[in-house]
Amino acid sequence: MNKKFGRSFVLQVETEVGASGSSSFVEITDPFSLQFSIRRAMMSSTQDATLKLYNLSASTRNLLFKDQNTVAKDKDGKSKWRFVKLWAGYGSFRPLVFNGQLRSAYSQREGVNFVTTIEANDSLSIGASVSNISFSGPITRKEIVQRLAKDLKGLTEAPIIGDFPSSEKTSRGVILSGNTWGLINTYTEGRATIDNGKLKVIFDDQAIVGGLPILNADTGLLSTPKRGQARMEVDMLFEPRLTLGQRIELQSESWPAVNRVYQVCGFTHSGIISPAVNGTCTTNVTLYYPGPLRIIGGEAINQ
C-alpha cells in the first residue's frame, strides 16, 4: 500500500439476540459516511471507539439501537455482548482496526441528517470473565498467564505472551479464583493489553513484527515528531496497518536526532470516510524507546 487514497470501510455490528437465542450482523459500508475516533494503547488500557454514521435507514437504526444500561441475555440467561468490528483502509485493502463490544447505539436528527452514534470498547466481555483454577505443582508466571488467557471471553486471536523478566517457578502449587482479567494483571504486573481481540503481554525489551516497518514521509509522516516524557508522538496519514507493541523505525527528515527503532505503545485513528465530505483522516502514534528490542512474534499486514 504505497498510495493513500480511496478511503473505504466495512462495519459490522451484531444485532440484538432473538427469541431463538441467535443473532446476526448488520453490515454497513460505502457509500455511507463514517466519522470515527479509535484509541488503542498498551499497559492494561482498553481500546475505545466512537463511530458516527450518517443517514442510515430507519430499519437499520432500529437494529443498531442499544441502551448503555441494558445487556441482552442469551437463551441460557447469560449476558450476551454484541460485537462491533471495523475494517478500514484504502480501496480493497482494509485491515481490522477495531474489534470490541457495543456499549451504546442511538440516533438523532442533526439539521438535515440522521446521525447514528456507536460507542464501543473491548472491556465488557473480559470484565465478566471468571477463573477457578488450581495447579498442583511448581509453575512459571508465563504458564499461569497462558492458562488464564483461555478463560478470557471475547478473544478471537491466539495470545502473544513474551518472556517474563523473571521466569522462576513457584515453590508449590497455585490456586486461582476471581476475575480473570484482574488475575492476569496481577501476574503480569499490569503489562497485559487486549488489542483487537488478542491478549498481548509485551515487556520493555520486546516487540512484535507489524505491517509498517518504517515511518517516514513516504509512508505518511506529516510533521516533525514531538518529544514527551519518555515518549515520542508523531502524526501521520491514517495508517490501518499499525498494531500495539510492534517494532517501527522512525525516519524524520526534519529531526534526524530522534531517528531510531521504537516500540509502538499507542495510537489514535480519527477522521471521516465519506464520498460526500472531503475531510481529514489521520493517525497519532505514541512511540516508546526502551533500548534494543527483541522480536517475540509477529502479525504483519502487508500490501
CATH number of the 127-201 domain: 3.55.50
Whole-number pLDDT of residue 280? 94
Where in the chain are the domains? 7-126, 127-201, 206-298
**Helices 141-149 + 180-188 axis angle, to 10:** 160
Whole-number pLDDT of residue 255? 95
Beta bridge partners of 130: 179
Whole-number pLDDT of residue 34? 97
Beta bridge partners of 8: 89
Whole-number pLDDT of residue 277? 85
CATH number of the 206-298 domain: 2.30.300.10
**Which positions of the chain have pLDDT values less than 70?**
1-2, 17-22, 44-45, 74, 125, 167, 298-303
Whole-number pLDDT of residue 172? 81
State the Cα–Cα distance between residues 301 and 284, nearest whole angstrom: 19
pLDDT tens per residue across span 266-299: 999 999 999 988 899 999 999 999 889 999 986 6
Cell numbers found for residue 155:
478473544
For the chain, count helices (H), then strands (E): 4, 22
Beta bridge partners of 99: 85
Q: Which residue has the cell 478500514?
A: 88
State the Cα–Cα distance between residues 266 and 170, nearest whole angstrom: 33
In the chain the first and final C-alpha atoms are separated, in Å, by 5
Cell numbers found for residue 223:
510533521
Pairing state between β 198-201 and 83-90: unpaired
Angle, CA of 36, 32 and 273, to the nearest 5°: 40
195 φ/ψ sector (left φ>0, alpha ψ -120 to 50, else beta): beta
pLDDT tens per residue across span 40-76: 999 766 799 999 999 999 999 999 999 988 877 767 7
